[in-house]
Amino acid sequence: MHYAFPAWMDDLGHTMVDFPWDIVVWAVVAVIIGSAVFFVLGRRMGAQAFRRETISSSLAVRASKEASSADALKPPPLPNRVGPEQKVTEYGIPTGDSALAQSLGRVGDVVSGFSAEFFLKKAEDVFARTVKAFACADRSMLASVLAPELLEHFTKVLDERAERHEQVHLELRQIERLEYIFATGDKAEEGPCQLGVRIISWQVSYCRDEKGTIVEGTEALTEFRDCWTFEYDMKGQWKIVATRAD
C-alpha cells in the first residue's frame, strides 16, 4: 500500500535536511565546555585568592606575635648614665686661721715644695697602692712606702697568712675623702714632720682560709675609715709610720 504525504511535510523534510545541525551541535558543545571551564576555573581562582589572603593574614599575625615574643625576651634598655661614673675624691684642706692650717703652713717652711693639696693627692695614690700590695703580698712595694717598724709588722701578718694558706680578696671601689687630722714637727724640738690623714674609702675586702671559708671581712661593699700617719724622714721621703682604724 502506498501512502501519499501532504505537501507541507515534504517541505519540512527538505528543511530539516538543509538545517546546519553540525553548527548547532558544536555551539551547544562549546557553551557546555565554556560553562564548565568558567565554573571550575572561577572557583579555583576564588579559592586560591581566599587562601592567599588567609595565609597572608596568618603570616602577618604570626609575625606580629613573634615580634612581640622577641620583644618580650629582650632585656629592657639601659638607662642613660647621669653624671660621672665615679665620684671625684674630696680633699679636706683646712683654711683660715685655724691651728691646723697654721701648722700645715709651717710644714711648708720645713719641707721644700710642700703643698697641702698636692700631698693629699699623693697620699691617695699611696693608699691605693699600699692596700692592694698588702692584699697580694707585694713585699717590695710595701718596703718602698712603709717605715721599717711598720714594714716588720706587715711582713709578720703576711707570713702568718701564708702559713695558714689564706687568700685575700680586695676591691678598692672608691676613695671618697682625704682630710688632715693633725700636723706636727714644724719646730726643730718637736722632731721630724708628721702628717695625720683620715682616709674614707669603699672596699670589698675579705680573707678566705684554705677551705674557702671567709675568716675575716665580708663580701659586701663596706665603708672603711682609716687614719694614716706619714713622716718626713732624713732622706727627704714621706713614709707611712702608723695605720689604724678610725
Full-prediction pTM beyond 0.95? no
Domain boundaries, position 105: 90-245
What CA–CA distance (Å, rounded) separates 231 from 195? Answer: 7
Contacts of 141 (CB under 8 A, 6+ apart): 129, 130, 133
Let me know if residue 110 belongs to a domain.
yes
Let me know if residue 61 belongs to a domain.
yes
What would the pLDDT profile of 39-73 be if each residue is shown by its tens digit? 444 433 333 333 333 334 444 445 455 544 444 44
Q: Which of 19-23, 50-54, 98-102, 141-145 has the lowest mean pLDDT?
A: 50-54
Same domain, 174 and 200: yes
Q: Could you give the 3-state DSSP secondary structure of residue 244?
A: strand
What would the pLDDT profile of 159-183 be if each residue is shown by its tens digit? 999 999 999 999 999 999 999 999 9
Let me know if residue 213 belongs to a domain.
yes
Give the pLDDT band of residue 137 (cuts 50, 70, 90). very high
Let me know if residue 79 belongs to a domain.
no
What CA–CA distance (Å, rounded) separates 147 from 240? Answer: 6
Contact 195, 182 (CB under 8 A): yes
The string of DSSP letters for 224-240 reads EEEEEEEEE-TTS-EEE
Let me know if residue 1 belongs to a domain.
no
Give the pLDDT band of residue 157 (cuts 50, 70, 90). very high
Same domain, 120 and 233: yes
What pLDDT is recorded for position 142? 97
What pLDDT is recorded for position 192? 84
What pLDDT is recorded for position 25? 67
What would the pLDDT profile of 114-133 be if each residue is shown by its tens digit? 999 999 999 999 999 999 99
Tell me what percent of the residues of the chain surpass a pLDDT of 90.
54
